[in-house]
């Protein structure tokens, strides 16, 4: 099973489409996704798993909320002044910060040969890199 991460894909029940569809993970708490965006309708909602939500149950226990990891939080841990300008000729590594002329500052999530998956504020994009 592939490790889940911000910017990654996951199947989830869409509250707008009322179907199980592909979603992009927007925020995680520890290793669990908590906020997702539907790849079909672009609606953002809390992650509820792959089945239709069950009726709400009231909880009598109070729990401390764990910290949420979002793209902004991940970028806050990086030195944005060291972000390299994106070019198809440059090679990038996972977890590297880059500056794209259209999409802005992004974080390289995954490297797959000559392609990289980059999480930007608005979306996750697959870009080409390392071409001469």
Q: Is residue 59 part of a domain?
A: no
- Each as own residue / partner, the long-range contacts of residues 95-101 (CB below 8 Å, 24 or more positions apart, any chain) are 100/125, 100/127
6 burial class (0-12, 13-18, 19+ CB within 10 angstroms)?
buried
Number of domains observed in the structure of the chain: 2
63, part of any domain: no
37/76 same-domain check: no
Q: CB neighbours of 4 closer than 8 A, spacing ≥ 6?
A: 10, 25, 28, 31, 32, 33
pTM for the structure as a whole: 0.50
DSSP at 81: G
Pair (81, 41) in one structural domain: no
Other Cβ atoms within 10 Å of 107 Cβ, number = 22
| Residue percentage of the chain with pLDDT more than 70 | 84
- The more confident residue out of 127 and 64 is 127
Lowest model confidence (mean pLDDT) among 16-20, 50-54, 115-119: 50-54
Range of the domain at 27: 9-46
């Amino acid at each position: 099973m592939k490790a889940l991460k911000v910017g990654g894909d996951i199947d989830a029940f869409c509250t707008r489409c009322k179907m199980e569809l592909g979603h992009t993970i927007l925020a995680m708490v520890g290793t669990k996704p908590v906020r997702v965006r539907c790849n079909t309708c672009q609606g953002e909602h809390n992650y509820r798993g792959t089945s239709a939500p069950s009726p709400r149950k009231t909880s009598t226990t109070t729990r401390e909320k764990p910290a949420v990891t979002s793209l902004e939080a991940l970028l806050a841990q990086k030195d944005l002044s060291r972000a390299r300008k994106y070019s198809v000729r440059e090679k990038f590594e996972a977890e590297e910060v880059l500056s794209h002329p259209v999409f802005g500052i992004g974080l390289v999530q995954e490297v797959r040969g000559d392609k990289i998956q980059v999480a930007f504020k608005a979306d996750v994009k697959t870009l080409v890199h390392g071409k001469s």
